[in-house]
Amino acid sequence: MILELALAALLGAFTWSFMEYCIHRWLGHDRRFRGNLFSREHIRHHSEGDYFAPTWKKALAALAFLALVSGPAVLVGGLVSGLAYALGLVGFYLFYEILHRREHTHRGVGPYGRWARRHHFFHHFVDPRSNHGVTSPIWDFVFRTYRRPAKIRVPEKLQMVWLTDPETGDVHADLADRYELRRRRRAA
């Protein structure tokens, strides 16, 4: 029973990883789907960098996912496994939201945190057609949109607080091999 619940929750998390990729790639970046609520928020996030949709919108999205998925999941997997699946999906969605915000607001902690930030910032600042998975590169490999991040040039107007030394305005020395600041051209 415990193994069944764990597998159902893992399947839910895996489902979210696929949804995360699809939503980000097609609803967020495909011009054919522009104008949807997600794309408007996503475009603003790319252009302002530190903008995130309000938490209440994300909480409503989590509740909507839970409401939409729970019924069918219970019908297919039974009450306990169906709910485990739905909670795995919504739980991993919430993990994605926390991770995504922290990538922009904090230095990455541990190898996974540092990897996730570079993978995501390559998408933000180098090539928005690649690296759509925020929590995992699995679907980027499947759909051939994975690109290994090289040095990431962050536009000065979008620089994150953790990236630069407040005294010098330069990229912190321990990050300079992976990031650089793309400075605005100054009028002469």
Return the higher-pLDDT residue of 184 and 64: 64
Task: Give the pLDDT of residue 187.
Answer: 60
Task: Give the pLDDT of residue 185.
Answer: 73
- Taking residues 52-66, report their average pLDDT: 87
Backbone φ and ψ for 16, nearest 5 degrees, come out as -60, -40
Task: Give the pLDDT of residue 183.
Answer: 86
- Taking residues 35-49, report their average pLDDT: 85
- Answer whether residue 188 shows pLDDT above 70: no
Residue 49: pLDDT band by 50, 70, 90 thresholds?
confident
Q: How far is the CA of 153 from the CAs of 15, 91, 113, 172, in angstroms?
A: 32, 33, 19, 14
pTM over 0.85: yes
pLDDT in tens, 84-100: 999 999 999 999 999 99
pLDDT in tens, 14-41: 999 999 999 999 999 998 988 888 888 8
Task: Give the pLDDT of residue 91.
Answer: 94
- Provide the mean pLDDT of the chain: 91
- Answer whether residue 138 shows pLDDT above 60: yes
- Taking residues 116-137, report their average pLDDT: 95
Task: Give the pLDDT of residue 61.
Answer: 87
CB 99 within 8 A of CB 52: no
pLDDT in tens, 143-183: 999 999 999 999 998 999 999 999 999 999 999 999 999 98
